[in-house]
């Protein structure tokens, strides 16, 4: 099965079974290397992003624990996904991700590194900020809500309301060696607050009281990225 056919099937199912709302698609560049930084609530998140982004070169990082599940392994391999061992610093996967972005592909990645079990954002790792620094590619903060309850609602014969919102691209300046660790953390917090600003309060999680998020929500945004 080709990417086009897989995308058609998933899109048909989402439109049939859910009430899907998408906004901010104009913020995704039509071509060129790009990173989609997405919050992670459900196994539905990856196929949802895959079908709403109108670029066939979209792929993502996938935890290698799913290699043992034939259906998920088949999907990841069909879309050219990059397997990653989340239990260690997987430099092979990071090199593959950098290469994919530098060749002009669009890569989806969850900064949190795993699914949230609370429905709210959990503390993010610095992997996205690292990839952004290595590739100098734009990062699109992407917020998903509704998928955390979707399966339960479907079994109750209700159509879940799913919302995907793409924010404006962030362009992080190159990092310098002297304060690299601190800068990676600052860029990560900026990214997560940008994602949180696109989410309902119930999904903002550990970033709900972050001063930067309060600035964004108050409309007093200060340019923190170049």
Phi, psi of 109 (to 5 degrees): -150, 145
pLDDT of 1: 60
pLDDT at position 221: 46
Distance between CA atoms of residues 111 and 144, nearest Å:
13
Tens digit of pLDDT for each residue in 64-109?
888 888 888 888 998 999 999 887 778 899 999 999 999 999 999 9
Judge whether 102 and 29 are in contact, CB under 8 Å.
no
pLDDT tens track for 170-219: 999 998 888 899 999 999 999 999 999 999 999 999 999 999 999 999 98
Q: Hey, what are 51's tokens?
A: 């079908």
* Mean pLDDT in residue range 43-58: 93
Q: Which of 171, 202, 201 is nearest to 187 (CA)?
A: 171
Q: pLDDT, tens digit, for every residue of 170-180?
A: 999 998 888 89
């Amino acid at each position: 099965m080709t990417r086009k056919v897989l995308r058609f099937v998933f899109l048909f199912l989402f439109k049939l079974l859910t009430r899907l709302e998408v906004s901010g698609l104009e913020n995704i560049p039509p071509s060129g290397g790009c990173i989609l930084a997405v919050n992670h609530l459900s196994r539905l998140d990856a196929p949802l992003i895959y079908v709403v982004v109108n670029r066939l070169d979209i792929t993502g990082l996938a935890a290698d624990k799913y290699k043992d599940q034939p259906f998920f392994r088949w999907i990841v391999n069909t879309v050219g996904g990059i397997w990653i061992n989340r239990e260690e610093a997987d430099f092979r996967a990071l090199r593959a991700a950098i290469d994919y972005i530098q060749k002009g592909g669009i890569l989806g990645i969850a900064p949190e590194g795993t699914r949230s079990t609370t429905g709210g954002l959990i503390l993010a790792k610095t992997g996205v900020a690292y990839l952004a620094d290595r590739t100098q590619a734009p990062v699109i903060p992407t917020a998903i809500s509704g998928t955390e309850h979707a399966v339960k609602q479907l079994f109750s014969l209700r159509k879940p309301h799913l919302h995907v919102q793409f924010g404006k691209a962030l362009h992080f300046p190159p990092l310098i060696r002297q304060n690299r660790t601190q800068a990676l953390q600052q860029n990560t917090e900026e990214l997560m607050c940008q994602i949180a600003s696109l989410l309902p309060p119930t999904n903002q999680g550990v970033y709900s009281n972050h001063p930067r998020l309060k600035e964004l929500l108050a409309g007093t945004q200060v340019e923190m990225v170049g």
